[in-house]
Structure 1
């Protein structure tokens, strides 16, 4: 149909057909195109539909054909589908270079292949090979297309060619012998000249020249020349004047000198006229080491052999800060105390406290913090002079001279021009509060950010104030500009992952405001799936302006399979072996299937896990299903568990999270009859079904090695005699952990309690013997009470009983049977020693009782101990010894534990 005869904006679209030979899902291409039957024919809509198809990367080219049909026009989109890679092979390249080229190509089997992108990637890969020392390297693609299947086999034929091999070395302008030159460049004949090697040779040569006293040396090159033996590398060197260093005054620590004057050790060059700057660097280095009043001078003079740099130091002694004062501040101790909270330097400091270094730079930052604090309190014209270190007694007094000026409070706050329908965010300004330009600026930024995230990307906010006497009125003039919405969201083609997964998780919808925060959250949600290396969300080319913007989501898939193995040892489980296999993108649906095993002297466990991430799981919640078999060995019995559990909830939500867990297990204990419950004595294999809601409040700064925050946990397990299950009880457990930094150290407090209410058996039987042994509480060991051996903490006659063979046993011969009530308390002080090594001082208390009615605080057992901690990226390794503070006859003095992870 002739363009001139097309009734744009009048005729309806009667049908939309996509002709795309080889397409995986033609219906999806139709959805991406966006135009639907019934729409009025629109030139811009067709253009944007084609742009969206191209942005999907599933289509390399598209043309729209209009044909009369019925009362309107039918659209036929002829799409040239990008062939998907069915095979990727390399030939002619060693394994290391195959990997290098593959990284540059970023071609994944199953993903669409665009020839133009392939050519660009091959050019990058060729440059990478040349940089690796093969100047004649070449890469040629061989593509075998299957049009019917829409696939392409890719074969990359590579030729490295002869490498650049170093055989001669020269340095014009430098009268050094060959042996010295080779040594300075730290290379040997026969070395392949990669780009990194060449740059490394130049840097090492410069470093050697500086160490030899040529602090201003310059070197260009290496310039490469072919020789019969290989390649000549030639440097052009301008050594400059020769320098010597003269030290006067007090001795200077070597590490301080190297830190302040890097050219002495060859790390950097000496800049002309930098003497004052170098003096400041050296003074800071000395202050870092506690010499707070150090004085440094650096001058330059002519010497017979060239030039001399003279460094004079009067370092004084290592002096602590005895107090922090604010001369000029009215006698208002509350205000002074408030200002001290903003000063990182504190009394008692020599060098570091809580990681803070005292020097001129950090003291200047403290001054700025004081000024900002005063302005936030309403002293808009406050002035804080430079800090002064004044000798006083056996230390120094730190002074920040202050001039307060008048105090202003906020009068009225007016916002003009705010668009209708957009809620006004709470402002950090209120009548009667202190006025400051900082708070005014915060309000201005808050309003602008809120508008941008409400879909007004061009919004601007102007802040102004009028002050009279001690009151300031603030006005915010808002110019929102036009609102911009998302027109469409297109997911770029992927290799394995189903695009529907991305569409469901990304959370961006057509018609929503175009908001940067929403885009950022969408990227985070996709990355949290664990199947993508990178996620880019950008505007579709040609749709990056106007009031309707199209977005394309481009995830880069990560390897989805992992295999891991581990070996360890601790005092409870002895030698421990573990291994796992995981598929993180099962069926391309971002589901996880994993097999894991753990084997030790105490536990043998095998488990199969199936996980569905958030928005893909049951009820829109992360879902975890596990089938397991566990054989556990305890001091007096062993326990075989087989079963499965299902858990709903997101463990990553903070600070508040809710979880729901259903557990069904078959339990087979081999404990003596007097230890078993009546149910376990009646049934060799006990079946237990339970439902457990879990509430957690978590503000810890790190899950593995927290240093601050708290974790509160409540669990209510209810076991029902359903689905052939036998047990019936309610189990309530609560835990509380709180951590707070104390300087460099950390104080940790833990409190745990639990109770079980049985509904079966005779009321004359103790509660603990009316519930299955697998449900009872046991205490003592590396993660509960460290003064007692594993599971050996209890009350004699209740949770510690004599074995049948010794009815009159001693205290040391009592055996644990578990309790129906428990209380544990822990207090730790974790102190760093050196690097990742730290020490621990702890006090543990607690016990287990037969039932809640038997709980008596007088039964609490106390222990104290010392330990060493070594922090690793996945948690601490602990060696600890706990002493019994209330040792009974026949008991050990204490227990030694080697364990991994935090005790609570």
Structure 2
């Protein structure tokens, strides 16, 4: 005989396994529509209905250390179903919290009956039987030396029975009204012949309402859901009743919560025009685009609670502004370069248009050495003073004006440099993944090696493109990313006479081996080329170098490449780097990362592999935080050059790539 159950969704006040939520929403109380009422045998003292008078309850024997027990679920071969039952079982969940007495354990087992039956129905098993048995070794009267009772054995024997399947799926309008257009029921994850899984029924309902919303019916809802389980042929019929509401159009937009940010800036990020048919995708894009201004802690975009006349409905944008000023700092460390530190001050909304200003000071090579001979006359640490300014929506929505100015004094192993730099460029996203940039840069300075001093003065035209298809900027677990930077350089004085063009291409890929972020394989490749002149005519600070924490780990900074007669890195006109690592999460906050890197530079315009690749390997630790992973890597060179250190330690924020 078929049984029909109407669904009345109700909120839950305590955490409960997802399959139980689905089944309870779908099937209502455990007593209604039950395919098979479980017998009450299996719990000592519990008997089927009888005319005999009830016995007085036994006195509860409380054990000081509680009743320890082991629980086993038997009769289930499917790993997925076994996991569902384990998640639903109170006996399993509270195993570490021993009940005070055997009667307390019996109550816990009895409470599992409805939960496990509900979980079985959620998975499509409507004829399942349960037998819960409790065996207490202490009841035999034999206790081990010391008097501590061994664990009680709890066995949950499950007979799932046949799996029920979907027979029909019907969609209709409220009170027999016709739904707008042909509302397809394909690709809902619910079709004839599929297992009658409760979560699938709920997901299909959500998908149907979502399809109406995408057609402009912002107030669509499911007014009824009827499920009929037919035990004669072990099938389920599902009927949805939908109320689409009126076709909705965007009305006037009200913006709430603004303090110092210009309202026109926020309105410029709205992805619709007044009178346009409602589009949930446009509404969500507006929320993301407003949040991308980085001046708001919270952004909410929603339609008014009730539809307006003829469906024209007001839109409410609610924002909460962030603190306008901020300060920060950071540390880096490597065994060769020593300690590095930085400090900065910034303003997020300088003139009311979300203009960002940041002033920073970086100090490097504190208590470290450059590792090169060119800096012997300069005892100062690496210093960098920078000013960065960004104005969003400059001349066009989502186009940003970026101005960077810096004065630097640094002494890496290959050279010693004092210079000033100014860059003005525009950045514009073409798609959600692809961003392009273009501008002009100028620099003037002095670069010194042991043999030569270069006076430099250049105008450059940096052209860039960056594609990001990963799931997370600082800690990706899937997807790919790539970047291309092409910069023609034109000498405007100084010792360099010939223009040249620098090209740099980087790519990386990430694959989640377990689909849960615990085992992530990552790999990268980097290529570089300088075209237009010889190596000797290129100042060392414009050459390519390999080696260091962001390059070939296991080698010192710039030291995975050819050297001069002073054992200083020479640099090259071309670059080749590859790397791979396995990111293993040991806990939610701790990870271990074995890695291998390889790379070097060449005198030729393109990598010709005339120099041996320098290979390094090692292992790292990661501490995962809300603002990105803290990274500690230890690398060793596998084919070091003469004089290379036997190992390198790197400490920084963010993954290596």
TM-score, normalised to structure 2's length?
A: 0.66
The answer to whether the 8 Å contact 2:84/2:119 transfers is: no
Partner of 1:230: none
- Cα distance, 1:741–1:790 mapped onto 2, change above 3 Å: farther
Give the Cα–Cα distance (whole angstroms) in 2 for the partners of residues 470 and 341 of structure 1: 24
Per-residue CA deviation, residues 676-700 of structure 1 (Å, 9 max, x unaligned), is: 9xxxx7x732433231211121123
Q: How does 1:439-454 map to 2 (within 5 A)?
A: 439-451=200-212, 454=216
The residue matched to 1:501 in structure 2 has which SS?
helix
Identify the residue that residue 790 of structure 1 maps to in structure 2: 557
Computed over aligned residues only, the root mean square deviation of the Cα atoms, in angstroms, reads 5.1
Tell me what 1:610 maps to: 389
Please name the residue that 1:755 is paired with: 527
Deviation readout 1:379-436 (Å, 9 max, x if unpaired): 4525374888999x99999866241324424456555655436875852233443344
CA distance in 1, matches of 2:110, 2:558: 53
What are the residue-to-residue correspondences of 1:795-874 with 2, within 5 Å?
800-803=562-565, 813=567, 815-818=569-572, 820-828=574-582, 830=584, 832=586, 838=590, 840=592, 842-850=594-602, 851=604, 852-855=606-609, 859-865=613-619, 869-874=622-627
Match of 2:347 in 1: 583
Q: Are residues 1:644 and 2:389 paired?
A: no
1:660 paired residue number: 437
Secondary structure, aligned partner of 1:405: coil
> How far apart in 1 are the matches of 2:485 and 2:298?
40
**Structure 2 Cα separation of the partners of residues 887 and 394 of structure 1:** 59
Structure 1 residues 341 and 722: alpha-carbon distance in aligned structure 2, compared to 1, 3 A threshold = farther
SS in 2 for 1:863: strand
Corresponding residue SS for 2:204: helix
Structure of greater Rg: 1
Aligned 1:550-565 pairs, distance under 5 A:
550-553=314-317, 555-560=319-324, 562-565=325-328
How far apart, CA to CA, are the structure 1 residues paired with 2:59 and 2:293?
A: 60
- Write the deviation string for residues 295-349 of structure 1: whole angstroms up to 9, x where unpaired: xxx9899xxxxxxxx55336669x8x9xx8751x5xxx7xx2444565778xxxx
Q: In 2, distance between residues paired with 1:862 and 1:828?
A: 15
1:780 alignment partner, SS class: coil
In structure 1, the gaps of 5 or more residues are 1-297, 302-309, 763-767, 795-799, 807-812
Does residue 623 (structure 1) correspond to residue 400 (structure 2)? The answer is: yes
Preserved contact between residue 414 and residue 540 of structure 2 (Cα < 8 Å): no
Alignment of 1:324-403 (within 5 A): 326-327=74-75, 329=76, 336-339=78-81, 379-381=124-126, 383=128, 385=130, 401-403=158-160
Residues 35-434 of structure 1: matches in 2 within 5 Å?
A: 311-313=63-65, 326-327=74-75, 329=76, 336-339=78-81, 379-381=124-126, 383=128, 385=130, 401-411=158-168, 417=177, 419-420=179-180, 424=184, 426-434=187-195
Partners in 1 of 2:452 and 2:116 — Cα distance? 65
**Alignment match of 1:566 (pick from 329, 336, 339):** 329
| Partner Cα separation in structure 1 for residue 198 and residue 552 of structure 2 | 54
Q: Deviations over 1:773-804 (max 9, x none)?
A: 4454433223333322222122xxxxx1232x
| Conserved? CA contact 1:532–1:555, under 8 Å | yes
Summarize the Cα distance change of 1:606–1:887 in structure 2 as closer, same or farther, 3 Å threshold.
closer
CA distance in structure 2 between the aligned counterparts of 1:403 and 1:899, rounded to whole angstroms: 53
Residue from 480, 486, 505 that aligns with 1:712 = 480
Distance of 1:829 and 1:518 partners within structure 2: 36
Q: Describe the shift of the 1:487–1:821 C-alpha distance in structure 2 as closer, same or farther (beyond 3 A).
A: closer
Alignment coverage as a number of residue pairs: 544
Query: Counterparts of 1:541 and 1:898 in 2: how far apart (Å)?
Result: 51
Counterpart-to-counterpart distance in 1, 2:506 and 2:582: 22
Verify the 8 A CA contact 1:413 1:429 in the aligned structure 2.
Answer: no
**Structure 1 residues 516, 641: CA separation in 2 closer, same or farther (over 3 Å shift)?**
same
Alpha-carbon distance change, 476 to 770 in structure 1, aligned in 2, over 3 angstroms: farther
Looking at secondary structure, tell me which structure has more helix per residue.
1
Q: Is the 8 A contact 2:447 2:541 kept in 1?
A: no
Residues 488 and 549 in structure 1, CA contact (< 8 A), matched pair in contact too? yes
Q: 1:565 to 1:366 in 2, by over 3 A?
A: farther
Alignment counterpart, residue 483 of structure 1, candidates 227, 242, 247: 247
Residue 219 of structure 2: aligned partner:
457
1:827 is paired with a residue whose SS is: strand
Looking at structure 2, the residues matched to 490 and 373 of structure 1 have their Cα atoms a distance apart, in angstroms, of 49
**How far did residue 746 of structure 1 move?**
4.5
* Whole-Å separation in 2 of the counterparts to 1:711 and 1:316: 47
For the residue of structure 1 that corresponds to 2:506, the secondary structure is: strand
Cα contact 1:747–1:827 (8 A) shared by 2: no
Distance 1:787 1:499, change over 3 A: closer
Aligned equivalents of 2:653, 2:452: Cα separation in 1: 31
Distance in structure 2 (CA, Å) of the matches to 1:339 and 1:387: 17
Give secondary structure in 1 for the equivalent of 2:269: helix
Matching residue of 2:9 = none
Conservation of the 8 A alpha-carbon contact between 1:749 and 1:828: yes
Following the alignment from structure 2 to structure 1, what is the Cα–Cα distance between the partners of residues 313 and 499? 60
Does structure 1 residue 731 correspond to structure 2 residue 504?
A: yes
> What TM-score do the two structures reach when normalised by structure 1?
0.50
Q: CA deviation at 1:625?
A: 0.4
C-alpha distance in 2, partners of 1:517/1:549? 17
* Change beyond 3 A, Cα 1:570–1:864: closer
Distance 1:473 1:719, change over 3 A: same
C-alpha deviation, 1:820, in angstroms: 1.2
Residues 260-315 of structure 1 deviation map (CA, whole Å, 9 limit, x = unaligned): xxxxxxxxxxxxxxxxxxxxxxxxxxxxxxxxxxxxxx9899xxxxxxxx553366
1:843, CA displacement in angstroms? Answer: 3.5
- Structure 2 CA distance for aligned equivalents of residues 363 and 770 of structure 1: 85
CA distance in 2, matches of 1:777, 1:423: 59
Aligned partner of 2:269 in structure 1 is 505
Deviation of 1:841 after TM superposition, in Å, equals: 5.5
Q: Distance in 2 between matches of 1:456 and 1:734?
A: 41
Give, in whole Å, the separation in 1 of the partners of 2:198 and 2:436.
45
Indicate if the aligned counterparts of 2:405 and 2:421 stay in contact, CA closer than 8 A: yes
Q: Within 1, Cα distance between the matches of 2:299 and 2:195? A: 44
The aligned residue for residue 696 of structure 1 is: 468
CA 367–344 in structure 1, closer or farther in 2 if over 3 Å, else same: farther
Q: Whole-Å Cα distance in 1 between the matches of residues 64 and 401 of structure 2?
A: 68
Q: Which residue is equivalent to 1:211?
A: none
Q: Residues of 1 paired with 2:509 and 2:327: CA distance?
A: 33
Whether the 8 Å contact between 1:792 and 1:816 is mirrored in structure 2 is no
Within-5 A mapping of 1:739-778: 746-761=518-533, 773-778=540-545
Alpha carbons of structure 1 residues 733 and 511: separation in structure 2 relative to 1, 3 Å: same
CA distance in 1, matches of 2:643, 2:457: 37
Deviations 1:730-765, CA, capped at 9 Å, x for gaps: 33222234565799x954544332223343136xxx
Q: Secondary structure at the match of 1:842?
A: strand
Counterpart secondary structure, 2:64: strand
Structure 2: distance between partners of 1:649 and 1:397:
64
